Amino acid sequence: MTAPAITATTTLFDATVGAGAGWTGELPAGAHLRIVDLCGNQAVDTLFFDARDYANRYSAVDTIREQGAVYLTTGSVLLSTGLDPLATIVDDTCGRHDTLGGACAQESNAVRYGEHTRHQHACRTTFVREAMAWGRGLGKRDLTHNVNFFMNVPLTPDGGLTFADGVSAPGKHVELRAERDILVMVSNCPQLNNPCNGYDPTPVRLIGWTP
């Protein structure tokens, strides 16, 4: 699949994030971020913070309620706990993304899959590493419920919830526009125990630019 060309006046970053790795960086208001699922079916766990006030951070449940729908796609406005727009999804070749499934953790893996998975790598280990590396007071308290780009978690009217096979494919992307200065923190999910990464975590590409 050929993605539309990026018309950038300034490229802010162009990073390939390996399977199980993390990335943290700032995006100024008006800048764009494109996340490319290079190999397909790769969950990209992502947190957003108001760059001037980290406590005013992405809120999955406020975002879901205000848009009146569970899944994220083009037009979805990612809101903070203070109901401020942090970013808007402006392009999406995947179709929909999850924000209810949370991030995997060593502790939740032990609950879901058994004690033998406790020492496997997990997103929330990446997130605490990223928080420590970024510093500026960030820590576990700041790791709230995240977005899972390229992940498919269908909810049913009778109250069911499952982790289904991904709806993504190689080269699909999602693109966001920052609505204020934001901090973005990514964990490229290392989960091996469910289909969210097609049982084979792969790299993703992050491109940031100002139009």
Nearest approach in angstroms of CB 123 to other proteins is 11
Q: Is 140 a binder of other proteins (CB under 8 A)? A: yes
Q: Is 81 a binder of other proteins (CB under 8 A)? A: yes
Q: Which of 163, 175, 201, 204 binds other proteins (CB under 8 A)?
A: 163
Q: Is 142 a binder of other proteins (CB under 8 A)? A: yes
How many Cα atoms sit within 13 Å of 27 on the Cβ side?
33
Q: What is the DSSP letter of 81?
A: T
Label the pairing between strands 182-188 and 172-178: unpaired
Name which of residues 10 to 39 contact other proteins (CB under 8 A): none
What is the C-alpha to C-alpha distance for residues 16 and 121, in angstroms, rounded to an integer? 19
- Which residue number, 16 or 67, has a Cβ lying nearer to other proteins? 67
What is the C-alpha to C-alpha distance for residues 16 and 36, in angstroms, rounded to an integer? 9
Directed axis angle between helix 106-113 and helix 123-134, to 10°?
Answer: 170
- Which residue number, 148 or 206, has a Cβ lying nearer to other proteins? 148
- Which residue number, 134 or 209, has a Cβ lying nearer to other proteins? 134
Instruction: Give the residues across from 149 on adjacent strands.
Output: 44
Nearest Cα neighbor of 86 from 23, 27, 142 is 27
**Interacting residues toward other proteins by CB under 8 A:** 54-56, 59-62, 64-65, 68-71, 73, 81, 83, 95-96, 100-103, 105-108, 110-112, 114-115, 124, 140-142, 144-145, 153-157, 159-163
